[in-house]
Chain A
Amino acid sequence: MKPDSNIILNEIIRRHGEYIKYVISLYFKQKEDREDVYQEMMIHLMGKIDDFHSQGNYHANLKSWLGVVVKNRCLDILSHNRNEFLKMEDIMESQRQEDQVINDDPGGILKIFQTTKTIDIEEMLMKLSERDRQLIILRYFKKYSINKIDKALGLTNSAVYIKRAIAKLKDIVGADRFNEVFDGYEIE
């Protein structure tokens, strides 16, 4: 079965989506531009992935390859947008910054600092049933609307179930502990 470009792209985005955004941000300062370029970059990457795999040369490091492809594409886009009065010095400075990041932090630009608080919440949610936990995660952490949750889970009024899930959690851990751990979260 031929590798599916969509599957490959999804995996690349999960692994290095933030890195791609970061490299783009070095070349494009406006938020709207960055978003447009990111979308365009996904299409560009699909083509590049197909090229890469058809060449059969599998020695390249994924992140280094991405860095080169994304940087070159950004420069291509910039060179076609001369109306924006971009200065060559800005481009050179962006390249310098990017090279420094790659050299300073070969393992990845993002580090994890998991707080005690988030660990507490993870553990607390694991005391609930899978469905109740899913409802709370979707509503309060992934910020889904009630309609979207209804659609995703095939429910008719998930708001009721969400309220019940929270009540169960309060029962299990105690209201004081619940309030302490979820302090700062908009959970009712």
Chain B
Amino acid sequence: MKKRKQIVWVGDSAFKFLTSTDKSVLELYDNYLLLYERTDTVDLSFCQKAGISYTFLDEFYLLGERQYLVDHLKLPVSEYLKDKTKAFPEGLFVGDASEILFQAIVDACFDGQVIGNAAEMEKIINILEERQPNLHQFSFMVRRDVLFLSPALRFGDVLEEVEASKQHAMNALEAVLVAEDDLPDLNRFLRHYTEGAEKAVTMDERIKLIRGDKDQTIV
């Protein structure tokens, strides 16, 4: 039986979208939530009721002297990805790239994706796993799509970071999707994303597919 797709919701904006998504839609996927830290304003009752796995990065990994900078978070988020995504051959990252945590996720994939396209990567993983059956360290990079939510923090320098993150995603991930400004919810998109990113974008014109896969670009 084919495994279900995984959705990793990354950061505060993604959490807000997660809580506004219908339960029936969420049930189509294995949902994981990654937040940076526990705060008084984060209400996790939604996740607890819906059985959604949530993680605070600063409790998953000892951040110590690391600061809230992409370079400092890349290793911790890589550890998170290795741990949480290894069981899922396909999946989607959802987040707002004006949050550094989400940029770190994209960059961790970008750094890991130095070897060609995903199909080639899978072959390499298979070879490596034959030699070392427990080797999973590269598997988080296989067949991942990404959905960039509209940036909440709209300062010039932050928007430049967002664009750089999209460029990294286009070099590292499969389908790269961008949500337009006034996206009220993701229900329509996610209801059809089980059939692939290309199908899903035809159902919601407020989400654009800016890169289809490694070998073709769909604008």
Contact = CB atoms under 8 A, between A and B. Distances in A.
Contact of A134 (B17, B60, B152, B185): B60
Interface stretch (A112-120, A158-166, A171-179): A112-120
Interface centre among A7, A113, A125, A134 (most CB of B within 10 A): A7
A15 B66 contact: no
Given A114-B65, A114-B66, A4 B58 contact: no
Contact of A11 (B12, B58, B62, B79): B12
A59 interface: yes
A62 interface: yes
A85 interface: no
B10 to A, nearest CB: 13
Contacts, number: 96
Interface string A145-173: 00000001000000000000000000000
B183 interface: yes
A61 B155 contact: yes
A62 B155 contact: yes
Interface residues of B, number: 40
Given A1-B183, A10-B39, A58-B159, A122 B61 contact: yes
B83 A1 contact: no
Describe A's contact surface by its main secondary structure: helix
Given A14-B36, A137-B58, A113 B12 contact: no
Nearest to B155: A62
Interface size class, chain A: 35 or more
Contact of B65 (A3, A7, A14, A113): A113
Most buried by B among A8, A65, A115: A8
Nearest to A130: B60
A21 interface: no
A133 B65 contact: no
Given A1-B16, A7-B152, A58-B154, A15 B68 contact: yes
16 contacts: A1-B17, A1-B183, A7-B16, A8-B152, A10-B12, A11-B12, A11-B100, A15-B100, A58-B156, A58-B159, A60-B155, A62-B158, A110-B67, A118-B64, A122-B64, A133-B61
- Leading 7 A-B pairs by shortest Cβ distance: A62-B155, A3-B152, A118-B64, A14-B68, A7-B12, A59-B156, A58-B154
Interface of A: 1, 3-4, 6-8, 10-12, 14-15, 52-53, 58-63, 65, 110, 112-115, 118, 121-122, 125-126, 130, 133-134, 137-138, 141-142, 152
